[in-house]
Amino acid sequence: MAASEAKVSVRTFDGRSLALPVVAFQGSASTLCKGCGHNSITSALIDACKAVGVDPYRTVKLSGIGCSSKTPAYFLQASHGFNALHGRMPSVATGASLANHRLLCIGISGDGDTANIGLGQFKHACRRNLPIVYIVENNGCYGLTKGQFSATADLHQHLRRETGEENLNSPFDLCLEAICGGATYVARSFAGDKKQLLPLLKGALKHKGTAFLDIISPCVTFNDFPSSTKSWEWARDHEEPLQELGFVPRLDEIEVEQKAGQSTRVQMHDGAWITLRALHHDELDVTCRASAMKLLAETKTNEELLTGLFYADTRRDNFIDTLNVVDEPLASLQQDDLRPSKDVLDTIMSML
């Protein structure tokens, strides 16, 4: 049977089972640069959606503006998508959830979209514990406008090339910001480590509150020189023989497999390196917010990017739970519900 004819079984909100063709989970062809980490994330996301049986008819894909924000067109074509405004995806997702609380929101953003222009909406979404899978495809630079620094660019990173202008501002650690803001599922991974990424994505899709994923995603075009931690070269200088790395040819998507508790140095497209260290399950109690923040604050100074699941709180009500809305989506309410009776108007007028 051809792949396109294969069916994926999904469960609807009311417990029915739908068999959907695989193509429902796929999207149009990517127009991003070849080798872009974002494409690896898209591929992992499709796999994760199929694996957990996401119902595409009740899923919405939302994004802001930037390279990352183009990706909702590349997966779940049976779902409504909305490429909104730069940095404003969280508010649009909030509105969609208000209108229809049965929707699963998958928000795709970038480091510029979230850490710069959209930091406010991002943190307010976390604060509300908005039910959303919030993915940042983090490459430390602006791709669409040709490589300017974002707020996740490394301190002392150079603009576009080794001799480019130096960044003198420390980066935000978006995972730290997310936990601090109130997100209830916070993880970091690497676009090329599908083995780590897939379970984290599956966990996020099953989570009922704000599930935030900071996914390091190398930019093959603008942030691929030796001194960038989001490039290949950086990692090469920090390589430890603990981790076997397969050779990844330039301009192919980068794949690595991290081992828990060990540092993994990843070579980026131009030969640069980054060091990832997958969290060992003994290192952290993921239900403890304070220890997650402490760990992230400490590793921020260690020139390595800690990956894995940092924090999960499955007990806190999400934003929509707190609003006490009727069971059916507000979007489907009809006149009987939307317009009170004439008696109500008469009562209001008589009280004036």
On whether the CB atoms of residues 71 and 110 are closer than 8 A, the answer is no
DSSP secondary structure string, 184-230? SEEEEEETT-HHHHHHHHHHHHH-SSEEEEEEE---TTTS-STT-TT
Nearer to other proteins, 163 or 335 (CB): 335
Among residues 33, 51, 53, 100, which is the contact residue for other proteins, using CB under 8 A? 100
State the Rg of the chain over Cα.
Answer: 21
Site string for other proteins, 3-22 (x = CB under 8 A): ---------x-------x--
Residues that bind other proteins (rule: CB under 8 A) add up to a total of: 60
Cβ at position 67, least distance to other proteins in Å? 13
155 contacts other proteins (rule: CB under 8 A): no
Q: How far is CA 329 from CA 94, 206, 225, 274, 311, in A?
A: 14, 20, 49, 45, 30
91 contacts other proteins (rule: CB under 8 A): yes
Q: Considering only the stretches 265-273, 290-298, 305-313, 322-330, report the one whose residues sit in contact with other proteins under the rule CB under 8 A.
A: 322-330
Q: How far is CA 109 from CA 161, 199, 281, in A?
A: 25, 20, 28
Cβ at position 184, least distance to other proteins in Å? 19
Site string for other proteins, 119-138 (x = CB under 8 A): -xx--x--------------
Task: Specify the length of the chain in residues.
Answer: 352
Nearer to other proteins, 140 or 182 (CB): 182
Cβ at position 219, least distance to other proteins in Å? 21
288 contacts other proteins (rule: CB under 8 A): no
- Closest to 277 (Cα-Cα) out of 288, 266, 290, 261: 261
Identify the three-state secondary structure at position 84: coil
> What's the rounded Cα separation, in Å, for the pair 270 and 83?
31
Nearer to other proteins, 69 or 275 (CB): 69
Backbone angles phi, psi at 223, to 5 degrees: -135, 55
Among residues 42, 43, 68, 79, which is the contact residue for other proteins, using CB under 8 A? 79
Interaction site with other proteins (CB under 8 A): 12, 20, 24, 56-60, 62, 72-73, 77-85, 88, 90-100, 102-103, 120-121, 124, 323-327, 329-335, 337-340, 342, 344-346, 348-349, 352
